[in-house]
Structure 1
Amino acid sequence: MAIWDFVKDAGKSVFGKAEAATPTPSPAAAPDPKAETKRKVEALKAELRALDLDGDDVHLTLRGDTIRVESRGADREKMEKLILALGNIEGIAKVEAELPEETAPPVFHTVQKGETLSAIAKQHLGNANAYHDIFKANRPMLDDPDKIYPGQVLRIPNAD
């Protein structure tokens, strides 16, 4: 099982901000931690469904800010996309997953302020015009090649 680190405070907000907006409850009225974890897992599953990455065999386990993803039927590309889709959610700091075997480890890139897909393509693939390959490798999480943000982690396809 491998672990990937993400920027916990960057990414799409799917858990909601209700906790931050409400006053601190008294200990007797504190929310049930198991119910809160279940709510968050359901929000993560809903996000995967919206990205068409969920399947009957995708199982999620949330422990604090770490999510474990398991899927017996997913190929390597889908597992990498699952890792990124979950890791690029605000509040998630680590993703644990088992990748199908392959000779080379996956290449992920954390976007820095001011970077573009072209610059990232030039750095990793040697050709700025290969930005579309990176865009395609991150579909459906990306819907516009100009909409990336600092802290976002992208999948870099193998240079052929």
Structure 2
Amino acid sequence: MAIWDFVKDAGKSVFGKAEAAEPAKPQAPAPAAAKPAHDPDTTRKVAALKAELKALNLDKDDVHLTLRGDTVKVESKGANRETLEKLILALGNIEGIAKVEADLPDAGPEAGKAPVFHTVKKGETLSEIAKAYLGSAGKYNAIFEANRPMLSDPDRIYPGQTLRIPQA
């Protein structure tokens, strides 16, 4: 299982401003014989994450999310590598999420290669990022397309946002 780091205080707010910054509240341990109870706040936050994935058309029937504090574990048996990378980014670019855990599929020509992600710095543009990674500022649209549906406009990126860089 690989872990990707994100900027916790950057991204779309889906939990509410105060809750995004709050660490998970510790719960009293359940008695050994009792079935562990789900924290209602965690359940609500997972539902908010799933709603965001649904809004991006990334929520398939086999996507399972587990939230522990500011870390989301995403599992999907049917997602291809590109879709799973988009799931990782969609979840990681939510305010209050610092880490995303996932296993990338082994099959295909991309197997064994770590995905290339870039965290946007203040003042950067897709053109500058494209020049640095793809060799030409004119290839900004390839980065834009690789990050759809999370990006709806190539001019609307923000500091702290993590972008998927397509492999040439």
Report the TM-score when normalising by structure 2: 0.85
Report the secondary structure of 1:14's partner residue.
coil
Instruction: State the Cα deviation string for residues 55-89 of structure 1 (Å, max 9, x = none).
Output: 11000000000000000000000000000000000
Superposed counterparts of 1:27-46, under 5 Å: 34-46=39-51
Superposed counterparts of 1:102-121, under 5 Å: 102-121=111-130
Structure 1 segments, 4+ long, off by >2 Å, are 17-20
Mark the CA change 1:19 to 1:4 in structure 2 (over 3 Å): closer, same or farther.
Answer: closer
Q: Which amino acid aligns with 1:5?
A: D
Name 2:161's counterpart in structure 1: 152
Report the TM-score when normalising by structure 1: 0.89
Superposed counterparts of 1:1-160, under 5 Å: 1-17=1-17, 19=19, 34-101=39-106, 102-159=111-168
- State the aligned residue count: 148
Greater helix content: 1
CA distance in 1: counterparts of 2:67 and 2:19, whole angstroms = 18
Unaligned runs of 5+ in 1: 21-31
When the two chains are superposed, the root-mean-square deviation of aligned CA atoms in Å is 1.5
Report the secondary structure of 1:36's partner residue.
helix
Unaligned runs of 5+ in 2: 21-36
Mark the CA change 1:112 to 1:19 in structure 2 (over 3 Å): closer, same or farther.
Answer: closer
CA distance in 2: counterparts of 1:113 and 1:48, whole angstroms = 26
Mark the CA change 1:10 to 1:143 in structure 2 (over 3 Å): closer, same or farther.
Answer: same
Question: Identity over aligned residues, as a percent?
Answer: 76
